Amino acid sequence: MLLVLLLLFAAIVLGLVGWLAQGLAWLLVLGVLVLMADLVLFGALLGRGRGRRGRA
């Protein structure tokens, strides 16, 4: 879960720098890509946690 939070923080920082700085739009694109990868990782972690449980 720490990796998810670090990737989210990195995506926000990259996006802000790319948006504020002139000529660094590629950082904004990179931030969006990192954010999408983070969401995929988060979804995979949530999906793995849900297992099929038998009757008790």
- pTM for the whole thing? 0.71
At residue 52, does pLDDT exceed 70? no
Question: How do residues 1-43 score in pLDDT, each as one tens digit?
Answer: 788 888 888 888 988 888 888 788 888 888 888 889 988 988 8
Q: What is the pLDDT of residue 50?
A: 67
CA distance 29 to 9: 15
Q: Give pLDDT, residue 55.
A: 59
Q: Which residues of 19-51 are buried (b: 16+ CB within 10 A; e: fewer)?
A: eeeeeeeebbebbeebbeebeeebeeeeeeeee
